[in-house]
Amino acid sequence: MQEAPLSLLFLILFMLIILSGFFSSSETGMMALNRYKLKHLANKGHKGARKAKALLAKPEQLIGVILIGNNFVNILASAIATLLALKTFGTGGIAIATGLLTLVILVFAEVTPKTFAAVHPEGIAFTAAHILTPLLKIAYPLVWLVNSISYRILRPLGIDTRNLNEGQLSREELRLVVNESTALIPPRHRSMLLSIFDLEQITVDDIMVPRNEIFGIDLEDDFDEIAQQLRSCQHTRIPIFKSSMNKPIAILHMRKWGQFLASHDEKNRANLMQYTVEPYFVLEGTPLHIQLSNFQKAKRRLGLVVDEYGDVKGMVTLEDILEEIVGEFTTDLAASSKDIHPQQDGSFIIDGTTTIRSINKALKWHLPTQGPKTLSGLIIEHLEFIPNSAVSLNLENYRIEVVQVKDNTVKTAKLIQHKDLTADDSDAN
């Protein structure tokens, strides 16, 4: 039988190196695809994306057919290179052929195509999918045999290959994706998305208006006094109670108050109650994402937060939750807050009932939020006693001076941030 000419062997070797580069780039391109962009393109009807998605749905089969093809062409190329070396240089040329073929395969069939595929995964993967799909059908028996042997080897090691395609993003991974999307998502939108992730970690207790700060109407007051309070009220929805905020009986919308004044009904407490709705109660500790859904289901915008005994602890509104997502509706919170008063020396006089979260958001501080919700509670917990005079303490990087104490609570305190303070200094002076 006539031997193949050298030119034909060189041509076959050249084609095998190209095929090796194809399989190498296909593997890298397929694995480097953005799975979410792939799903988007597949849903839009992109044929290459659809085939690539179908192949990636069973990654063990995809890897199997690529590796079988790659190893086959590399081994065949090695055999032909050896034959060329024998014909050209004799037995002494085998070492030369091995070294040259190794260099050629590394450069032209591995590093270069894989690098190109990593930079342009979609172009490589979508094109390769048209070839790999029928190739997988042809070589399926061999792929199945190789994978079956691989399964039996991995199973004693406790490795389950059945869930290779389950790659859901965790919460922290999704947060990282949003943080890294600086070129795609504007900073404002990125901040809103991150705030939505935090809703599960924030409860109504963190954002509610404390009971002693709720503006409400005592139904036992004289009606003229009630009318005067309502005329000067700046709130949209007003709780109505009897003698104590622990006894809420209704919620009055100021629009209904206007309708009541325009009606021909006699102006008294009984008729006013016809324009109110029953109070809506929220259990303390409810996460904000659940309460947001509850507000939507109940079609309410205001809820009274109660503890396990039914005592009112505070009030939360739909607007409060929305502000946790979109931010405060003011630009300078420290300047606009009635509870935070900046001083010339860089310190702040802050009302003791101000929540720690409000202080942190307004001043961009990092006071501890685990534990007491208010500044007064934080100071008393750290001191472990109720101060009856001016006391100063260092808490992490903040110096706190108690200014006024009233009714067993810290009425006002002076706070200043010191970058040079350490946790070792966080003892009361």
Tens digit of each residue's pLDDT (9 = 90 or more) over 386-428: 887 778 888 888 999 999 888 888 889 999 987 644 444 444 4
Residue 236 lies in a domain: yes
**CATH code of the domain in which 219 resides:** 3.10.580.10
Last residue of a domain, one of 273, 306, 326: 326
Q: Two tokens at 310? A: 């039914």
Q: Which helix (H) or strand (E) holds 64?
A: helix 59-89
Whether 377 is in a domain gets the answer yes
Do 291 and 337 reside in the same domain of the chain?
A: no
- pLDDT digit string, tens, across residues 180-192: 777 778 887 888 8
- Are 316 and 368 in a shared domain? no
- 50 with 83, same domain: the answer is yes
Token pair recorded at residue 371: 């534990």
Q: Which helix (H) or strand (E) holds 130?
A: helix 121-138
What the block records as the tokens of 287 is: 């996460």
For residues 222 and 370, membership in a common domain is answered with no
Q: Is the pLDDT of residue 201 over 80?
A: yes
If we measure between CA atoms, which residue out of 245, 208, 236 comes closest to residue 354? 208
User: Is residue 313 located within the same domain as residue 373?
Assistant: no
* Displacement of CA 347 from its chain's centroid (Å): 34
| Co-location of 135 and 11 in the same domain | yes
Among 275, 292, 326, which residue terminates a domain?
Answer: 326
**Is 178 among the domain residues?**
no
Task: Clarify whether residues 138 and 20 are in a common domain.
Answer: yes
Task: Check whether residue 342 and residue 318 sit in a common domain.
Answer: no
**Cα-based distances in Å from 127 to 50, 111, 120, 354:** 11, 19, 11, 61
The pLDDT value recorded for residue 426 is 42
Q: How many domains does the chain have?
A: 3
Helix (H) or strand (E) holding 136: helix 121-138
Q: Is the domain of 110 the same as that of 144?
A: yes
The rounded distance, in Å, linking the Cα atoms of 337 and 363 is 11
Query: Which residues form the domain of 94?
Result: 6-163
Selection from 191, 172, 173 nearest residue 182 by Cα: 191
Render pLDDT for 297-344 as a digit per residue (tens, 0 to 9). Answer: 999 999 999 998 889 999 999 998 988 888 766 544 444 456 888 888
pLDDT at residue 429 above 50? no
Rounded Cα distance between 324 and 339, Å, is 19
Does any domain span residue 65?
yes
Kind of pairing between the strands at 409-417 and 348-351? antiparallel
Read off φ and ψ for residue 304, nearest 5 degrees: -95, 120
Residues 146 and 30 placed together within one structural domain of the fold: yes
Edge-to-edge order in the sheet of strand 237-242: 217-218, 237-242, 244-253
